[in-house]
Structure 1
Amino acid sequence: MSVDVEDYFQVWAFSDVVARESWDGYKLRVGETTRRCLDLFEEHNVKATFFTLGWVAERDPSLIRDIINGGHELASHGYDHTKVNQQTRLEFEADIRKTKAILENIAGRPVRGYRAAGFSIDKDTPWAHDALAEAGHQYSSSSHPIAHDHYGDANAAQTPFHPIAGSDFLEAPVATVNILGKRISTAGGGWFRASPLFVSNALIQRAANTLCGPVIFYFHPWEIDPEQPRLNRASAKSKLRHYINLQHMRPKLAKTLAKHPWQRIDQCLGLESA
């Protein structure tokens, strides 16, 4: 189970109408919504991995401590949700090292995991895994191996693999299944909100039965926040992706937490827990 800790106005669906320079002008909701996630996990005795923006951690360090105190894994989501394939290697190296330092200074323990904004480690960034390993990360969960208009490669590996020869560093893709020759996401997020619950749970179970590795699921704190302000100037497509079934997400998620066993990604990958 994983959570991408970012606020509702920081998502890629709204990046063309919300400039990064304007972020401090928005009232933060991510602290409250992430704590709702923590409460939900406690109710269901679930431990998870929280991929957290450095920008958020700087503004709410107590949230980082709440994540750690709940027994969850703290991991990096980069500093300000810039996609990897929109950075040079030097820019990316600076971003991941800055974010890792921010998170570790607050948490007082090592940050092992990383997830790229928009699953943006791909064929255009062959240096990204090397940079992550050199910065001290042990794994990435930055691949969503499906065909999609914003990310993905339908021919990419579906289970954890070592992208660097001679290194223990792991790339752990989020969950997909193969049905009738087509790959389908069962990784959560908007896919989960848009699908009937029985379909989502059947796909999760199929992934558990067929993948040679963990079934990695993700969602965002804003997805259990149906009262969030609406950004009406966004495109119709972006609004559909972002707002679909927000009001049903929390109860669907609660039932899914109860139906399947969940734990932190580092533990699923056999890495030593901090």
Structure 2
Amino acid sequence: MTNALTIDVEEYFHATAFSSAVPPERWADLPMRAGEATRRLLDLLASRGIRATFFVLGWVAERDPGLVRAIREAGHEVASHGYGHRPIRGDGRGDGRGDGRKDGRKEFIEDTDRSKKLIEDLIGEPVKGYRATTFSIVRETLWALDVLAEMGFAYDSSIFPIRHDRYGIPDAPRFPHRHSSGLIEVPPGTARVLGQNVPIAGGGYFRLFPPSFTRWGIRRVNEKEKMPVVFYVHPWEVDPDQPRLPAGRLTRIRHYRNLDRTEERLSDLLETFRFGTIGEMLEQLAPQSMEPCSSLRPPHLDPLPQERKREASYISSLSPVTGERARVRGSIA
């Protein structure tokens, strides 16, 4: 079973929790550290013979283009994390031509298009994957999936099927599925515990939970549910010497806890489970012939067979993702 290893390439000061203390106009005054940390991750992956999907922030790509080229030259997939690390906001009901302050569509299109074009110019090939800042495609911003499809993306990995104070759609499907627009949604990994979705996907959960819990969760999904897990990590999580920024107690715990242990934990995880790119992960899914549903409005869902009917409240028209090797490889690779 090949799980997907994903890396969100951003700076330590880009975390949304620091947005008040470190607004965008101050970013240029802070030392950049993502390049060195990302190259350390590249070395780790090379030593294991593993390819991953790197969701690169356009702001970082613009300032360190050599890093983006190095990622691609090492054989990894390069995807977009947007440009300015702005969470998606608004109801998206505008047409993208107004000021965009209420509907959020104009800002989202401009930010995403800027990142996509920048990265494509650097790697010389289409960018097919997207992940929103802070997993900010939630119920109110599901309109963004249609926009991504219109922009030529093949898949998105922004909907976290959990309860959280900042993001998440707890009753969304836990495994890859196809939106009515044709876009494939690839959710971060969760395990079912006492009837609830519990995150096992990485990030702060990987640092805060015991390593044994992460291993248990991935093994349970792989062996009992026969499905892969999407795992994620940030370069700043393997950089324990990063400057400390002003923040409240909860933010400090979420951001700084166990930074000195992340790289070792990740190395052990890569030895225990099989990982690859999102494209490689999608190739192994069983073929499905069902076409996407056409209705965009009322709530409806056709999840993968492994998902339960409890997920039928997810607000979007979705269908199972096809696992046909040629079709998936052509749209993702």
State TM-score, norm by structure 2. Answer: 0.79
Could you report, residue by residue, the CA deviation over 1:159-206 in whole angstroms, capped at 9, with x for unpaired residues?
A: 111122xx4310110100101112110100000111111121111111
Alignment partner of 2:15 out of 11, 24, 27: 11
140 and 190 in structure 1: CA distance in 2 versus 1, 3 angstrom threshold: same
Alignment partner of 2:148 out of 122, 132, 139: 132
1:104–1:110 contact (8 Å) kept in structure 2: yes
Matched, 1:261 2:248: no
* Separation of aligned partners in 2, 1:126 and 1:237: 28
Alignment partner of 1:57 out of 51, 58, 61: 61
* Separation of aligned partners in 2, 1:205 and 1:197: 12
How many Å apart are 1:44 and its aligned residue?
Answer: 1.2
Matched, 1:147 2:163: yes
Alignment partner of 1:117 out of 114, 133, 148: 133
The equivalences for 1:147-186 within 5 A come to 147-164=163-180, 167-186=181-200
Q: Which runs of 5+ in 2 are unaligned?
A: 91-102, 284-327
For 2:324, the equivalent position in structure 1 comes to: none
2:198 is paired with a residue of what secondary structure? strand
How many Å apart are 1:154 and its aligned residue?
Answer: 1.4
1:229 is paired with a residue of what secondary structure? coil
Alignment partner of 2:116 out of 100, 109, 121: 100
Q: Aligned AA for 1:173?
A: P
For 2:292, the equivalent position in structure 1 comes to: none
Could you report, residue by residue, the CA deviation over 1:233-263 in whole angstroms, capped at 9, with x for unpaired residues?
A: 2111111110001111111110001100000
* Separation of aligned partners in 2, 1:73 and 1:47: 8
* Separation of aligned partners in 2, 1:235 and 1:45: 39
* Separation of aligned partners in 2, 1:84 and 1:102: 20
Alignment partner of 1:248 out of 245, 261, 269: 261
2:82–2:130 contact (8 Å) kept in structure 1: yes
Q: Which runs of 5+ in 1 are unaligned?
A: none
* Separation of aligned partners in 2, 1:122 and 1:60: 31
Q: Would you say how many aligned residue pairs link Structure 1 and Structure 2?
A: 271
2:109–2:147 contact (8 Å) kept in structure 1: yes
The equivalences for 1:201-220 within 5 A come to 201-211=215-225, 213-220=227-234
72 and 85 in structure 1: CA distance in 2 versus 1, 3 angstrom threshold: same
Q: CA RMSD in A?
A: 1.3
1:183 is paired with a residue of what secondary structure? strand
How many Å apart are 1:209 and its aligned residue?
Answer: 2.6
2:56–2:79 contact (8 Å) kept in structure 1: yes
Pick the structure with greater CA Rg.
Answer: 2
Matched, 1:20 2:20: no
1:186–1:207 contact (8 Å) kept in structure 2: no
State TM-score, norm by structure 1. Answer: 0.96
* Separation of aligned partners in 1, 2:158 and 2:226: 18
1:204 is paired with a residue of what secondary structure? helix
How many Å apart are 1:269 and its aligned residue?
Answer: 1.9
1:113–1:266 contact (8 Å) kept in structure 2: no
* Separation of aligned partners in 1, 2:142 and 2:240: 38
